[in-house]
Amino acid sequence: MTYIPGRGSHRRKERDKTPESRRDEEPRKEYIPANDIDILKLKNAHEELADTHRTLRESQAEMIFRFAIAAEYKDGDTGSHIMRISDYSTEMGNALGLSHHDLECLRYASPMHDIGKLGIPDKILQKPGKLDDSEWEVMKQHTIIGFNIFKGSHSPLLKAAAEIALTHHEKFDGSGYPDGLKAEHIPIFGRIVALVDVFDAVISKRCYKTASTFEEGMKCIEELSNSHLDPDLVKVFMKLEGKMFKIYSANKSIQQYVKDEEIQ
Ligand SMILES: [Fe+2]
Ligand SMILES: [Fe+2]
């Protein structure tokens, strides 16, 4: 090996330097303060981005609601049912302390709970009387059709939509469909939507029944505690009576609804 004078000591000196002493040796960069114009440009760009984000969210919300209305349309509903379902579910999720992310998924996915009705024949959907056994079996398929529409997506929102479509007719005592899931085996989103969907169905006019009053709806929910509905969720729902009444009485247009979409 050839000896090169001074090289070893140079390497040693380099090795012994601390990150701070190295930084001290670097030529200092001159600090140029941003002037007012730069700050204004940045502020405008930020506002434009926030505007674009808001518009995108509103378009997404509107697309979801209009898509959900397509499924409810044949049932004679023009959108008020699904908007209330979304509002009731969000209030429930809020009271239960769901994360902002889960709350947002619940808010956007719950209106699509009956999307599978798109695959159910009109003569069954619009039958004024009671369904016979074979018609009822076809009707129950809307849960699986809805699940199939959303399954396989990587989007958390569409995964929630698949879960809700599949489980919103499961009952707490295991007597629901399509899988007869019991109690906590039914995902929380499914249990929430099951409750608010029953409530809204009771207080709404349908082709096979007249509308009950808000008070009758509340009473019905209490009666279904433990059998059809999760008793803990029923208690939460009862405590939210005032907020639920506001949603029930609001009768929002889709435009109002979409503007309200931002979850705080
Ligand atoms: Fe349903
Ligand atoms: Fe529904």
Give the pLDDT of residue 39: 81
Helix (H, G, I), strand (E, B) or coil at 229: strand
CA distance 237 to 162: 24
Give 89's DSSP letter: H
**Amino acid found at 248:** Y
8 A C-beta contact, residue 213 and residue 203: yes
Closest ligand (CA of 110): 2
Helix (H, G, I), strand (E, B) or coil at 32: coil
CA 82 / ligand 2 centre spacing (Å): 7
CA 9 / ligand 1 centre spacing (Å): 80
Give the pLDDT of residue 1: 41
Give the pLDDT of residue 220: 96
User: What are residue 180's phi and psi, to 5 degrees?
Assistant: 60, 35
Residues 20-37: pLDDT tens digits?
666 566 666 666 566 777
CA distance 114 to 65: 12
**pTM for the whole thing?**
0.77
Closest ligand (CA of 176): 1
CA 133 / ligand 1 centre spacing (Å): 17
CA distance 37 to 96: 47
Give the pLDDT of residue 13: 55
Give the pLDDT of residue 78: 62
Give the pLDDT of residue 40: 81
Q: Per-block average pLDDT, block size 10, for the chain (264 residues)? A: 44 57 61 71 88 81 82 74 93 97 94 93 88 96 96 92 97 98 98 97 78 92 97 98 92 65 49
CA 109 / ligand 1 centre spacing (Å): 13
CA distance 218 to 220: 5
Q: How far is CA 204 from the centre of its chain?
A: 23
Give the pLDDT of residue 161: 95
41, containing H or E segment: helix 36-73
Set out the domains of the chain in order of their start, with CATH numbers. 40-259 (1.10.3210.10)
Query: Nearest Cα to 66, choosing from 88, 84, 83?
Result: 83
Closest ligand (CA of 145): 1
CA 170 / ligand 1 centre spacing (Å): 10
Query: Nearest Cα to 218, choosing from 238, 190, 235, 248?
Result: 238
Kindly report the CA angle at 164 between 229 and 71, in degrees rounded to 5? 110
133, containing H or E segment: helix 133-140
